[in-house]
Amino acid sequence: MLKDLGKILLFSKATLDVIKEKVESKACDLAIQVKNFTDKIEPLKQNENNGHSSTSTLKEKAKEELFILIGEINHRAQINEVQLKGFIKEKLTELTNNALLDSMELNDIRSEIASLRTEISELKSELNLTKTA
């Protein structure tokens, strides 16, 4: 369930990214394309015999643009998923390395404590020997 939710979120983010890109970077190009498209459709609309075919041509063009948009969204969702997986893998590796370093530091500290205890016990035994003598 969590995996499905993640895919939905990534797909939503990709959709927003693609739409944002379309609006920001291609607004002028889109306006020019719409103008060119309407200029091409206008003669078809004026022709009474081709009234039905102009509607079908318009629908086909709209379907084609929709499929292109869906393809871009799917591609962006896959890119987002790969980036997210890479980020998670990187962070997991970082946490694992940090935990390993912490473990090594703890082992060094334990080793130092053990050697200090040994030194303390040796000093106590020497102190006891000097008191008895």
Instruction: Specify the amino acid at residue 46.
Output: Q
Query: Considering only CA atoms, which of 21, 120, 125, 128 is closest in space to residue 76?
Result: 21
* CA pair distance 6, 84, nearest whole angstrom: 10
**Are 14 and 80 within 8 A, CB to CB?**
yes
* CA pair distance 43, 64, nearest whole angstrom: 21
**If pLDDT is split at 50, 70 and 90, which confidence band does 10 have?**
confident
DSSP tag of 47: -
- State the pTM of this model: 0.50
pLDDT of residue 114: 94
Number of domains in the chain: 1
**If pLDDT is split at 50, 70 and 90, which confidence band does 11 have?**
confident
- Residue 106 sits in which domain range? 2-132
pLDDT at 48 over 50: no
**Are 31 and 89 within 8 A, CB to CB?**
no
